[in-house]
Amino acid sequence: MSVNRLFSSIRYPIFGAPMANVSGSAVAAAVSRAGGLGLIGGGYSTDKLRKDVMDAVETLKDEPYNIGFGVLTFSIKDQSIVHDILRDVEESGKVNSVWLFGGDEEKWIPGLKRDFPELVVMVQVHNVQAAQRMVECGADVIVAQGSDSGGHGGAESSSIISLVPEIVKSCPGVPVLAAGGISNGQGIFAALSLGAAGVVLGTRFMLSQESLLPQKAKEVACRAKDGGRTTVQTRLYDEMRGTTDWPMNFTGRAIRNKTIEESLTGREEAELKEAYKTAVGAEDYSRVVCWAGTGVGLVNDILPAAQIVTNLVKEYNEAVQKAPASWNV
Question: Residues with catalytic annotation?
Answer: 152
Residues sharing a CB contact under 8 Å with residue 231, sequence separation 6 or more, in sequence order: 150, 224, 253, 254, 255, 256, 292, 293, 294, 296
DSSP letter (8 states) at residue 303: B
Closest by CA position to 43, among listed 16, 17, 75: 75
Q: Quickly list H helices, 224-322.
A: 227-230, 236-241, 258-264, 269-282, 305-322
Q: How far apart are CA 128 and CA 134, in angstroms?
A: 10
Q: Using an 8 Å Cβ cutoff, are 112 and 98 in contact?
A: yes
Q: Using an 8 Å Cβ cutoff, are 101 and 124 in contact?
A: yes
Three-state secondary structure readout of 164-227 = HHHHHHHCCCCCEEEECCCCCHHHHHHHHHCCCCEEEECHHHHCECCCCCCHHHHHHHHHCCCH
How many Cβ atoms from other residues are within 10 Å of residue 264's Cβ?
12
Q: Using an 8 Å Cβ cutoff, are 295 and 187 in contact?
A: yes
User: CA angle, 225 as apex, 15 and 70 as ends, to 5°?
Assistant: 25
Edge to edge, what strands does the sheet with 151-154 contain?
Answer: 151-154, 250-255, 231-234
- Provide the residue type at 138 as one letter: G
Sign of the CA dihedral with 240 first, then 245, 247, and 252 last: negative
Side-chain half-sphere exposure of 250, counting CA atoms within 13 A: 24
Side-chain half-sphere exposure of 49, counting CA atoms within 13 A: 27
